[in-house]
Amino acid sequence: MSPDFLSGIRFTDLTWAGAGPFGTKVFSDFGAEVLKIESMSRPDPVRRGGPFKDGVAGTNRSGYFASRNTGKRSISLDLKNPEGREIALRLIAQSDVVSNNFGPGAMERLGLTYDEVRAVKPDIIYLSMPMYGEDGPLSTLLGVGMTIAAVTGLMWMTGYGRGEKPLGPGTHYPDHAANPYHAAFAVLAALRYRRHTGRGMKIDLSQVESTANFVGASILEASVHDREPEHTGNRSRRDAPHNVFRCAGEDAWCAIAVESDTEWLALAATIGRQDLAARPELRKAAGRLAATEELEAAVTAWTRAHGAVEAGTILQNAGVPAARVSSARDLVEEDTQLAARGYWQTLEHPEMGPSLFTAPPFTIDGERVELRRPPLFGEHTQEVLTGLLGMSDAEIAELAERKILA
């Protein structure tokens, strides 16, 4: 399916790293023109962070950068130079949205505050995504995905027991889930509002507040019961067995999540432990929780004799929620469901060659949105400055010579 849903919307996109570029990628994947502004003095840091295709480092070879910038157009422009700033303002004057996820004070230093931008584009939608928001006692602090997970309590809630160190969610979760999508929702709402009223607006998205929205029931428990939720690792506070269990093979695991008395009886029968099913105290969740260690040992004795996929399939067929614990390689190479639904898309990249990308996680009228490849650094500078701003080749060459377009 051709990604033309948001055709006619233009971003001057100053975002970098994770959350910001992922938020604007939502628009570029659906046909908006997203002009990604960066310079070699301030490149998007994930360009240099990898992982790199075939292990070969390069400005245009980062898989992380590629995955977060599909469909965008790259313009090399030194915003710290006054002439570079003026070019940026000319681009903004022909844009619908200007976006940044810089730390506090950065846009002021660049001379690109909301008021300065609004002077050239009165109905602009201005997205700002600092860690804490633009006001309040902590608004001057900087942060990234891991620190945001820490200060919002997300990291505190993931661990195996009191006294053990917090584990965190295993990735910069705020960068990949909460913050980019909240930003995209806010911009879509602002675009709709402007269509009806003609008014632009400033969106001040606090990444901490955005992530706190994903914390969920733990905040309610703390506020209602005045206590912290117990750290349970992969166990449940309500039922058992509920954990990941080692299977046959190297580092192979199966997740099993019993959540009802019926599922428990099905599990006991499947693993051949009718003796456990017959014990009256194990017919209810409270009794099973009290016997967690014993039940987990019984389940492990069974799973160790089966491969992870096999164990999951047998239990699923018996009505027990279970699944292999998949690695990234498993998802790419062996997940038949993702493959059957066309979730993976291969795009030809000038430097990386054929490269695998994740599609938007839905179909529309049964079709996938077709991704467009990510840009090379500065790939569209000439095209945009001539086509959009009417600059001559000689002007562009002179600016490039003076490192303003670099």
Which residues have a catalytic role annotated? 175
Q: Which of 339, 314, 306, 311 is nearest to 324 (CA)?
A: 311
51-57-62 Cα angle (round to 5): 40
- N-terminal to C-terminal alpha carbon distance within the chain: 35
- The residue written with tokens 């675009």 in the block is 191
Pairing of strands 10-13, 33-38: parallel
Rounded Cα distance, 349 and 70, in Å: 11
Q: Which of 306, 325, 160, 312 is nearest to 244 (CA)?
A: 325
CA dist 316 → 148, 239, 244, 249 (Å): 37, 18, 15, 20
User: Phi then psi for 358, rounded to 5 degrees?
Assistant: -90, 135
Distance of CA 37 to the CA centre of its chain: 21
What is the spatial order of strands in the sheet that 322-324 belongs to?
A: 242-246, 253-257, 322-324
